[in-house]
């Protein structure tokens, strides 16, 4: 019973975090959209993680699509809000505290201090497709020499927006929308090709995704993380074999190998025969 309650607490914290953001933004910006938006995302995430931790295997995929499609199709395509990195730079430089700036502040800058890379495990619209590919467990060790690509994409994204402002084109918003559509198509193509070539569904996340430059530093301090009960661990190594992100979760320290890569997918917890891993 005590263990069940302890497992429930992080989920409640996530839900309260999103509700806090929802109510605060609703009241301070006087826009009820934010109450709906963050309540929807927070409830979907909390419910999905809860059901998934209760062995409903479909739950993580359902949440990925529920949040991913909402953000990509409804906010991105229908409402034309660019939630990609370019959107973040654009609204930031415009001095507008809305849309992508709020999304990044919540999910990718402040949120990871609480739930690490939970965004990557449960809500990212790119990964919701990559996770359908045939290599959930990487076939080979991490290719460290490819890590520089994410920095290049980060600089290109920033450069694109700086260029938009420098040229001061009248149709900046339209060009931002084009960047959102084209950027997403290119990301999907690159992610699928990388996954098939490297036999690793999460190859894009490991080597190409520029957003990890925001996600990784805060994830190091994440309150929610996979923890080890040393006294029951037999050292069998089954957990490490199923990790899609090459994390050494058997090292209890925060400096564990690839610790900031953990997407909280709970595969290692599922696999452990002695239930030595927990959140």
35 vs 149 by CB, closer to ligand SF4: 149
CA dist 239 and 235 (Å) reads 9
Coil, helix or strand for 75? helix
Q: Interface with ligand SF4 includes 272 (CB under 6 A)? A: yes
Q: Determine, following the binding rule CB under 6 A, whether residue 53 of this chain makes contact with ligand SF4.
A: no
Among 44, 120, 129, 164, binds ligand SF4 (CB under 6 A): 120
Q: From its phi and psi, is residue 266 left (phi > 0), alpha (psi between -120 and 50) or beta?
A: left
Minimum CB distance to ligand SF4 smaller for 14 or for 205: 205
Cβ proximity to ligand SF4, 172 vs 199, nearer residue: 199
Closest CA to 262 of 249, 275, 253, 277: 249
User: Can you tell me whether residue 166 is helix, strand or coil?
Assistant: helix
Applying CB under 6 A, among 103, 184, 239, 260 the residue interacting with ligand SF4 is 239
Q: Which two tokens stand for residue 270?
A: 């599922």
Question: Binders of ligand SF4 among 170-229, rule CB under 6 A?
Answer: 204-205, 209, 211-212, 226, 228
Nearest partner of 202 among 156, 244, 174, judged by Cα:
244
Tell me how far CA of residue 72 lies from CA of 80, 126, 160, 183, in angstroms.
Answer: 10, 9, 21, 12
22 lies in the site for ligand SF4, by CB under 6 A? no
Question: Could you tell me which stretch among 22-30, 55-63, 96-104, 268-276 binds ligand SF4 (CB under 6 A)?
Answer: 268-276
Q: Which is nearer to ligand SF4, 22 or 264 (CB)?
A: 264
Beta pairing, strands 277-278 & 227-228 = antiparallel
Among 53, 157, 184, 276, binds ligand SF4 (CB under 6 A): 276
CA angle (209, 131, 237) in 5-degree steps: 95
Which residue, 15 or 267, is less far from ligand SF4 as judged by CB? 267
Binding region for ligand SF4 (CB under 6 A) = 120, 124, 126-127, 204-205, 209, 211-212, 226, 228, 233-239, 243-245, 247, 249-250, 262-268, 271-272, 274, 276-277
């Amino acid at each position: 019973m005590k263990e069940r309650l302890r497992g429930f607490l992080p989920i409640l914290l996530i839900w309260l975090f999103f509700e806090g953001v929802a109510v605060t933004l609703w009241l301070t910006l006087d826009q009820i959209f934010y109450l709906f938006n963050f309540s929807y995302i927070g409830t979907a995430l909390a419910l999905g993680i809860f059901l998934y931790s209760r062995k409903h295997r479909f739950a993580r995929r359902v949440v990925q699509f529920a949040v991913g499609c909402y953000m990509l199709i409804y906010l991105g395509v229908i409402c034309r809000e660019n939630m990609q990195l370019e959107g973040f730079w654009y609204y930031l430089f415009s001095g507008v505290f809305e849309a992508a700036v709020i999304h990044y502040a919540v999910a990718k800058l402040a949120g990871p201090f609480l739930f690490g890379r939970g965004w990557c495990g449960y809500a990212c619209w790119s990964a919701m497709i990559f996770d359908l590919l045939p290599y959930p467990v990487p076939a080979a060790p991490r290719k460290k020499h490819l890590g520089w690509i994410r920095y290049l994409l980060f600089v290109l994204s920033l450069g694109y927006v700086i260029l938009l402002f420098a040229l001061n084109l009248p149709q900046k918003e339209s060009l931002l929308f084009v960047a959102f559509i084209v950027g997403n198509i290119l990301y999907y193509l690159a992610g699928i090709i990388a996954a098939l070539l490297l036999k690793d569904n999460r190859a894009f996340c490991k080597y190409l995704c520029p957003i990890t430059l925001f996600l990784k530093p805060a994830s190091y301090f994440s309150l929610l993380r996979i923890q080890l009960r040393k006294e029951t661990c037999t050292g069998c190594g089954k957990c490490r074999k199923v990790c899609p992100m090459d994390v050494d979760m058997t090292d209890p320290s925060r400096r564990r190998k690839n610790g900031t890569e953990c997407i909280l997918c709970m595969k290692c917890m599922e696999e452990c025969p002695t239930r030595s891993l927990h959140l």
